[in-house]
């Protein structure tokens, strides 16, 4: 089996929390535990605007500081009520660069008895890059994290972060140039030119991190009528991204206010954020733009993990975490996947996804029988899992829909926009195979060891003991026939010799 599923990720006792004090927003995220695939339990943000006016005054916004004190007091109180075992507060560009930034951090510590770690630009970029790497281990290209006061750009590849740089061109720093396209583009270009290595990322991928850039993804999804509003992994080719960003950068305030997918406070920085991204991409000329929901906070948690756990597959670790949270009997997706592997062979191109589907194979067992297929489909399609793109997400959702007996027609419109016909067929075969395995074992995967399933001479052969809980179920024959038809094979049940 692919690496990462058996252990279910790193398991630590105690919840952990991170407070990210940015130039525009302050966000609290509480996670179930420190693990390879941390599950968020609480995610709350407030747009304080600490960095508003910093470029002119050199100091934090007085209004932003007062708002920050109020909300940080609430956030820390929440973590104590929840009972987190570890709380880390991280501050970025505004607090780092402001004359009164260190004094602000000391005052926060005095008020809420929590130390604020002020990150250097280099450290901020490194942690944001680690966040992308933790969610997309195969990432290759450049990570860009846009905050209110700066942009961190770091090269990524082979599971590591490389050279990087911090540019003082966050939206708050450039607001004085809004409305003057020439001066704005020149200011951005001057900053980007200090990182000549960006040009070496040509034909690779740019990974966009940060709330303002995620807002751009939401706008594009809405305009494109995209079937799922999952920002992580949302992908545009560079040419389409350039056209879209150029359009958004020129939108008027009135036009922006008609967009319902972005908060009003965030809208004011959207045009400048679009222009910053457009100018960076123009220098790099990547093959594609990928939006990442994981960044600084998740990179910080990833940095705390032992090296051996960082190597786990985030998708499989995440699936194991989800499956372990709702055990029914002795459901064991690893055993199910191993039992089914003879059907698909060693060179199965969907092996990893089939393993992930097996780990989630019992996910809807507690739902109402009439809605299990629908609930399983939605859980996989909209889950905050990482380590997969939208095509793979659709594969998992379609497989789990079939595992619970859902008809193809019910999901065809959504699935057809995300995966091709061949991939959809492979997903359905996966689901039908899981349906057979879970029906045969009753959800107790260890029972599967008494039998086997193989393909031979145009037949799908189910080998069973003559006696025991795996014998005599009419539903098993139906499930076997459905799977055989999908594989264009003839079904056959063969009793194992010497076991009568």
pLDDT given at position 249: 93
> Would 42 be classed as within a structural domain?
yes
* CATH classification at residue 391: 1.10.3210.10
**Same domain for 330 and 439:** yes
398: CB partners within 8 A, 6+ apart: 377, 411, 415, 419, 424, 427, 428, 431
What is residue 47's three-state secondary structure? Answer: strand
**Same domain for 461 and 338:** yes
**Same domain for 449 and 358:** yes
CA–centroid distance for 55 within its chain: 34
User: Which helix (H) or strand (E) is 460 found in, with range?
Assistant: strand 459-464
pLDDT given at position 266: 77
**Same domain for 236 and 377:** no
- Count of structural domains, the chain: 3
Q: What is the DSSP letter of 411?
A: T
> Would 469 be classed as within a structural domain?
yes
**Same domain for 171 and 86:** no
H helical segments located in 113-152: 121-135
> Would 127 be classed as within a structural domain?
no
> Would 301 be classed as within a structural domain?
no
Domain extent at residue 60: 16-119
Last-in-domain residue among 119, 153, 174: 119
> Would 115 be classed as within a structural domain?
yes
**Same domain for 385 and 478:** yes
Q: What is the DSSP letter of 117?
A: E
**Same domain for 160 and 97:** no
Helix axes 270-284, 211-224, angle to 10 degrees: 90
Scored b (16 or more CB within 10 A) or e, 173-193 reads: bbbebeeeeeebbebbeebbe
* CATH classification at residue 153: 3.30.420.150
**Same domain for 284 and 200:** yes
**Same domain for 148 and 112:** no
> Would 125 be classed as within a structural domain?
no
> Would 4 be classed as within a structural domain?
no
Exposed (0-12), middle (13-18) or buried (19+): which is 431, by Cβ within 10 Å? Answer: buried
Last-in-domain residue among 64, 87, 119: 119
pLDDT given at position 331: 61
Q: What backbone phi and psi angles, to 5 degrees, belong to 328?
A: -95, -70
* CATH classification at residue 36: 3.30.420.40
300 within 8 A of 140, measured Cβ to Cβ: no
Per-residue tens of pLDDT for the chain, all 500 residues: 555 543 333 344 589 999 999 999 999 999 999 999 999 999 999 999 999 999 899 999 999 999 999 999 999 999 999 999 999 999 999 999 999 999 999 999 999 999 999 999 999 999 999 999 999 999 999 999 999 999 999 999 999 999 999 999 999 999 888 888 899 999 999 999 999 999 999 999 999 999 999 999 999 999 999 999 999 999 999 999 999 999 999 988 788 777 767 777 778 889 999 999 999 999 999 999 999 999 999 999 999 999 999 999 999 999 988 887 766 765 688 999 999 999 998 899 999 999 999 999 999 998 999 999 999 999 999 998 999 999 999 999 999 999 999 999 999 999 999 999 999 999 999 999 999 999 999 888 889 999 999 999 999 999 998 877 767 678 999 999 999 999 999 999 998 875 44
Residue holding tokens 């027609």?
409
Both structure tokens of 303:
């940095």
470 within 8 A of 463, measured Cβ to Cβ: no
> Would 316 be classed as within a structural domain?
no
pLDDT given at position 11: 42
**Same domain for 157 and 78:** no
**Same domain for 198 and 88:** no
């Amino acid at each position: 089996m692919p690496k990462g599923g058996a252990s279910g990720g790193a398991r630590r006792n105690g919840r952990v929390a991170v407070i990210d004090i940015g130039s525009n927003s302050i966000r609290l995220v509480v996670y179930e535990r420190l693990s390879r695939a941390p599950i968020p339990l609480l995610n709350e943000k407030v747009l304080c605007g600490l960095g508003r006016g910093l470029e002119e005054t050199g100091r934090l916004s007085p209004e932003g500081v007062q708002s920050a004190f109020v909300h940080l007091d609430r956030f820390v109180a929440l973590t104590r009520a929840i009972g987190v075992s570890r709380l880390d507060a991280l501050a970025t560009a505004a607090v780092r660069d402001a004359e009164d930034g260190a004094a602000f951090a000391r005052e926060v510590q005095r008020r809420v008895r929590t130390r604020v770690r002020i990150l250097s630009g280099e450290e901020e970029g490194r942690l944001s890059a680690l966040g992308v790497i933790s969610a997309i281990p195969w990432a290759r290209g450049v990570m860009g994290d846009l905050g209110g006061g700066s942009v961190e750009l770091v090269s990524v590849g082979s599971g590591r972060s490389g050279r990087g740089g911090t540019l003082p061109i966050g939206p708050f720093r450039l607001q004085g140039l809004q409305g003057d396209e020439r001066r704005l583009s020149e200011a951005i270009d001057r900053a980007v030119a200090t990182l000549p290595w960006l040009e070496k990322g040509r034909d690779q991928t740019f990974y966009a991190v940060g709330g303002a850039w995620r807002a751009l993804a939401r706008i594009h999804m809405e305009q494109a009528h995209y079937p799922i509003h999952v920002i992580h992994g949302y992908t545009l080719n560079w040419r389409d991204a350039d056209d879209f960003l150029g359009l958004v950068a020129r939108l008027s305030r009135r036009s922006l206010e008609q967009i319902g997918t972005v908060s009003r406070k965030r809208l004011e920085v959207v045009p400048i954020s679009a222009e910053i991204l457009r100018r960076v991409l123009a220098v790099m000329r990547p093959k594609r733009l990928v939006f990442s929901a994981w960044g600084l906070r998740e990179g910080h948690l990833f940095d705390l993990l032992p090296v051996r756990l960082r190597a786990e597959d985030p998708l499989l670790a995440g699936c194991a975490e989800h499956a372990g949270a709702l055990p029914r009997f002795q459901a064991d997706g690893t055993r199910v996947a191993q039992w089914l592997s003879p059907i698909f062979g060693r060179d199965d191109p969907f092996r990893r996804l089939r393993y992930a589907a097996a780990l989630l194979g019992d996910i809807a067992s507690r739902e109402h029988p009439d809605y299990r297929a629908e609930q399983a489909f939605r859980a996989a399609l909209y889950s905050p899992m990482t380590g997969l793109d939208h095509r793979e997400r659709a594969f998992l959702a379609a497989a789990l829909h079939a595992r619970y007996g859902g008809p193809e027609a019910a999901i065809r419109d959504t699935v057809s926009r995300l995966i091709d016909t061949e991939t959809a067929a492979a997903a359905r075969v996966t689901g039908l195979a899981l349906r057979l395995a879970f029906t045969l074992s009753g959800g107790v995967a260890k029972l599967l060891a008494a039998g086997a399933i193989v393909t031979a001479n145009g037949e799908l052969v189910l080998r069973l003991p003559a006696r025991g809980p795996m014998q005599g179920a009419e539903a098993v024959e139906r499930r076997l026939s459905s799977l055989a038809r999908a594989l264009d094979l003839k079904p056959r049940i063969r009793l194992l010799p010497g076991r009568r």
